[in-house]
Amino acid sequence: MCGVFGCQAADPLTRTCIGGPPLPEGFVESFLRLGEILTSGQFWQRAAGSSRTLDYLQRIMHLKDRSEVALARRNFLRKLAVRNPPGQSGNFVLQDLFLQEVFQNIAGCYLPYIKDVPANPQVRALLQWCGVATEVDQFSLVKALRFARETEIRDLGFVSEIYRRLDGSGFNPGEEKLFLVPGKGFLSKIDCVWRPFKVDLLRKCCQLEILQDHYSRFGPGVRTALTKWIREGPETSAKALCEALIMAIECARVDTRRSRHLPGKPSISPQEAAAQLFPAAKAAIEDRLFDEMQELVKLCVGTCMGIDLIPPEPPQRVEDKRPETVVYNHFVQQRMIVVPGVGEGDAQCRILAMGEAYWEVAPELEGSPAQDTALKTHYGVGGNEEATFRFFTEILSVRPLLTVEQWLHICEAHAHAIHFLPSGERGPSTIEEGLKIAQVTGTETVPMDLDSAVAAVYQRLHRMGGPMEGPEHGAPIPDRNQGPRVWRHVGFLGRGHHGIPLFSANGAQPPAEDMTEPELGLLLELCQHFGIHHRQIAFAYDPSGSCVCRERMFLDLKYLPRARLLESQAGYHAVVSFWASKLAKMLQNLGQVPSAGAAAFRNRLLQMVLPGIFQADDGFQ
């Protein structure tokens, strides 16, 4: 009929169509008038005094009717525009409102109210049908939280009272940002934790927001509620432990003349980080320093002793459901096993890779330098010895026993490797990477032509085109059940199609990542210093955690969030060094440099490139 007579439905959601008739005159005024009536306490007081009026309103509003027509009518009413409640600014519709008599003692003046409504069950049922919050329940409390988030209310007392009342309602926040952190706004539960690490260095390096600092003053009821939705402590998150340990290592690695700090946290000098690094790593991996502390050993090994070591925790994201996988993927990508320095003149700590570390030595090596870096010497003490052994040997695949033959082979390979010393003065090291190897009697250091190796890599680089799709051929197969990896081009990072290509292994869906213009500019500038054309590189994602640059000039996609984390914690120079080391490793793999000379090859490249990079510092920043 509307089409026949040229009419238009009276719908508050109506939009003028391009080329169509304008909204009939009076629509907006009619809707505002209807919204004004339905938010008038005087109207509802009069309606409550007449059973006929209430019956009429229930009938015309289709109260509790679930038919399509009734739901359309309800949606019409809920979207009616209303005049701004006293003290509020912005645009409101009927379903935004709260009943003042019910919510004012909870929210004070923060919420938009409808007031002077009689305590009549039929009236409140009609208002509730129109979307007005008329009683304190889970739905209305979450609605109040969302209103606080959207209108930037930052009153901790207000939101803490809502959290307390939500306790016991069966509320599950999911991934929604509903937890207020001063200075950060509303965050999701995965970004928050109740209390910090109890190890000082890990506390300073942790990225999670600590709610205890803000909400403990509101009483145990608020703490009880919050800890049902967020973690009690970060020790129960394998991801949080690994990321804090990575940042602690990076802080100890940076220029000793600079102190680093994360916004809102105390600064960390490299000397301080190095001095506390081994105790922090030991605590993260094995020590039960505090009664409620749950570390990586307990997270990954769990019930190996027939005892349930982990208390129930709120449901977390997928990456924390299998802690052993999370830990392995972190440790396999970089050196994270920390042991104290050995003897006079050594660094304060040494950082070992999974393939370098070993649990204990054969009886013939007891008392030798090999025993000094055995993990059992430093980690195999206390009540968790068996679980710690299983963590290193089963989760991280560390060698259980180092034999004499293996030790001699390691020493001989080290003796034949290139030993790089950077030019210029070098201060005392705070940490070093790799084992401290004793010289094997009778062996001679055979120098390697490092310049020729670098020249050969660049000759091959200059003949290379851009990364291509297809299978790997010579690289080891990460999973024998799946066969060789097949790389597929799935998109770009930064500047759309003019950015850096993104590849994925075996059709896996990569996480949502992109590069900002400064991030892209820094990486492209570093490529120029290394002599790499920007079309020769790409980012790649492999969910198995295996190295992506065995055959192609790939940078791992997970480097992006790690670089951002590092820059926020350790500063600009640290992130420049981070990307430079990844490019050097990529060129090392391109040249198929033997493992014995890999570290020296990367060091030579960095010696050639880093001085020019830091001289151009102002251009980067």
pLDDT at 420 over 50: no
pLDDT at 407 over 80: yes
Token code pair at residue 199: 């190890």
pLDDT at 266 over 80: no
What is the average per-residue pLDDT within 29-58? Answer: 85
Q: Select the more confidently predicted residue: 145 or 63.
A: 145
Give Cα 131 to chain centroid, integer Å.
36
555: β partners: 539
Summarize pLDDT for 340-354 with one digit per residue, the tens: 887 666 788 889 988
**Res 4: pLDDT:** 44
- For residues 272 and 97, give the distance between their C-alpha atoms in angstroms, rounded to a whole number: 54
Q: What is the residue type of 474?
A: G
Task: Indicate the pLDDT class of residue 577, thresholds 50, 70 and 90.
Answer: confident
Task: Classify burial at 140, counting beta carbons within 10 Å of its beta carbon; exposed 0-12, middle 13-18, buried 19 or more.
Answer: buried
Q: How many CA atoms lie within 13 A of 56 on its CB side?
A: 6
**Res 9: pLDDT:** 54
For residue 546, give the DSSP letter: -
Highest mean pLDDT among 172-186, 233-247, 353-367, 430-444: 172-186
- For residues 530 and 462, give the distance between their C-alpha atoms in angstroms, rounded to a whole number: 12
Token code pair at residue 364: 């013939």
DSSP result, 272-285: HHHHHHHHHHHHHH
Token code pair at residue 456: 């050969």
pLDDT at 439 over 70: no
487: β partners: 470, 505
SS3 readout for 93-116:
EHHHCEEHHHHHHHHCCCCCEECC
For residue 346, give the DSSP letter: S
- Within a 10 A sphere around the Cβ of 186, how many other Cβ atoms? 20
Summarize pLDDT for 71-121 with one digit per residue, the tens: 888 888 888 888 878 777 778 888 999 999 999 998 988 999 998 999 999
Q: What is the residue type of 134?
A: T
**Res 209: pLDDT:** 92
Summarize pLDDT for 493-502 with one digit per residue, the tens: 987 667 899 9
Helix or strand or coil: residue 296? helix
- For residues 265 and 206, give the distance between their C-alpha atoms in angstroms, rounded to a whole number: 9
pLDDT at 288 over 80: no
**Res 590: pLDDT:** 82
Helix or strand or coil: residue 518? helix
pLDDT at 382 over 80: no
**Res 289: pLDDT:** 32
- For residues 358 and 376, give the distance between their C-alpha atoms in angstroms, rounded to a whole number: 8
What is the average per-residue pLDDT within 327-341? Answer: 86
**Res 472: pLDDT:** 82
Q: What is the residue type of 368?
A: S
- For residues 601 and 598, give the distance between their C-alpha atoms in angstroms, rounded to a whole number: 5
**Could you tell me what percent of the chain has a pLDDT over 90?**
23
DSSP result, 572-600: HHHHHHHHHHHHHHHHHHHTT--HHHHHH
Task: Classify burial at 256, counting beta carbons within 10 Å of its beta carbon; exposed 0-12, middle 13-18, buried 19 or more.
Answer: middle
Q: How many CA atoms lie within 13 A of 423 on its CB side?
A: 8
- For residues 569 and 118, give the distance between their C-alpha atoms in angstroms, rounded to a whole number: 57
pLDDT at 553 over 80: yes
Cα angle, residue 52 at apex, residues 49 and 53 outer, rounded to 5°:
65
pLDDT at 491 over 80: yes
pLDDT at 423 over 50: no
Task: Indicate the pLDDT class of residue 438, thresholds 50, 70 and 90.
Answer: low
* E strand or H helix at 539: strand 538-541
Q: What is the mean pLDDT of the chain?
A: 79
CB 530 within 8 A of CB 605: yes
**Res 603: pLDDT:** 81
Q: Alpha helix locations (H) across 219-347?
A: 220-229, 238-253, 270-285, 296-301, 323-333
Summarize pLDDT for 460-483 with one digit per residue, the tens: 888 888 888 988 865 444 444 456
**Res 193: pLDDT:** 94
Percent of the chain that is helix, strand, coil (3-state, to 5): 50, 10, 40
- For residues 309 and 286, give the distance between their C-alpha atoms in angstroms, rounded to a whole number: 13
Q: How far is CA 111 from CA 82, 98, 102, in A?
A: 14, 7, 11
SS3 readout for 167-215:
CCCCCCCCCCCCEEECCCEEECHHHEECCCCCCHHHHHHCCCEECHHHH
CB 233 within 8 A of CB 215: no
Which string of b and e fits 563-576 if b means at least 16 CB within 10 Å? bebbbebbbebbbb
Highest mean pLDDT among 27-36, 413-422, 506-515: 506-515
**Res 287: pLDDT:** 45
Task: Indicate the pLDDT class of residue 384, thresholds 50, 70 and 90.
Answer: low
Q: Select the more confidently predicted residue: 329 or 536.
A: 536
**Res 539: pLDDT:** 94
**Could you tell me what percent of the chain has a pLDDT over 70?**
77
pLDDT at 256 over 60: no
Summarize pLDDT for 219-228 with one digit per residue, the tens: 999 999 999 9
pLDDT at 309 over 70: no
**Res 305: pLDDT:** 40
Q: Considering just the CA atoms, what is the radius of gyration of the chain in Å? A: 32
Token code pair at residue 356: 């370098």
Give the closest residue to 553 by CA, choosing from 577, 585, 579: 585
Q: How far is CA 237 from CA 179, 185, 206, in A?
A: 19, 23, 11
Task: Indicate the pLDDT class of residue 552, thresholds 50, 70 and 90.
Answer: confident
**Res 254: pLDDT:** 64
**Res 431: pLDDT:** 82
pLDDT at 36 over 70: yes
